[in-house]
């Protein structure tokens, strides 16, 4: 089993059939801390992403999910696919001191794809 910190699957769920697919990929990530009042985009390996996929949402499974953040003063921006199997996630630190998202937390990606999953 691959190391989940480096991009191994926790779960992946998809709707089968013809046409575009919408699926969820859950993976454990450990984002780095940023300096005060800074917006940093970090990249993570997310197996199964294709270059033409779109990330509809990216949320941690715990923490301030409804606010889109992972810890006090940290907000998640709009995630995107930057390359095959690579997601770029912006973390916005609104604190006046250095802070970072909680480490080793499961993030769920909602992925829209034009490929057909049997």
Is residue 118 assigned to a domain? no
Is residue 72 assigned to a domain? yes
- Segment among 16-20, 28-32, 72-76, 98-102 with least mean pLDDT: 16-20
Q: What is the total count of domains within the chain? A: 1
**Whole domain around residue 85: which residue ranges?**
4-113
- The pLDDT score that the predictor gives to residue 83 is 95
Is residue 27 assigned to a domain? yes
Rg (CA), the chain: 14
Question: Which residues sit opposite 27 in a β-bridge?
Answer: 107
Dist. CA 9–CA 56, nearest whole Å: 18
- The pLDDT score that the predictor gives to residue 6 is 42
More confident residue, 72 or 30: 30
- The pLDDT score that the predictor gives to residue 75 is 84
Dist. CA 118–CA 104, nearest whole Å: 32
Dist. CA 91–CA 48, nearest whole Å: 22
More confident residue, 90 or 71: 90
User: DSSP string of 9-77?
Assistant: -SEEEE--SSS-EEEEEEEEE-PPPB-TTEEEEEEEE-TT--TT-EEEEEEESSSSGGGTEEETTEEE-
Entry pTM: 0.73
More confident residue, 7 or 97: 97
Residue 29: CATH number of its domain: 2.70.40
Residue 33 near residue 100, CB atoms below 8 Å: yes
Is residue 14 assigned to a domain? yes
Average pLDDT, the chain: 76
Span 32-87, pLDDT tens digits: 887 888 888 999 999 989 888 999 888 887 654 434 445 677 888 899 999 999 99
Residue 12 near residue 46, CB atoms below 8 Å: no
Q: How confident is the model at residue 92 (pLDDT cuts 50, 70, 90)?
A: confident
């Amino acid at each position: 089993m691959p190391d989940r910190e480096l991009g191994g699957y926790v779960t992946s769920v998809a709707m089968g059939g013809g046409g575009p697919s919408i699926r969820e990929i859950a993976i454990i990530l450990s984002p780095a801390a940023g300096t005060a009042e800074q917006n940093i985009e970090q990249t993570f390996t997310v197996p199964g992403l294709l270059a033409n996929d779109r990330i509809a949402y990216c949320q941690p499974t715990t923490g301030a999910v409804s606010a889109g953040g992972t810890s006090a003063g940290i907000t998640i921006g709009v995630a995107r696919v930057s390359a095959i199997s690579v997601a770029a996630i912006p973390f916005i630190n609104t604190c006046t001191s250095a802070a970072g998202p909680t480490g080793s937390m499961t993030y769920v990606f909602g992925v829209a794809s034009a490929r057909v999953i049997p």
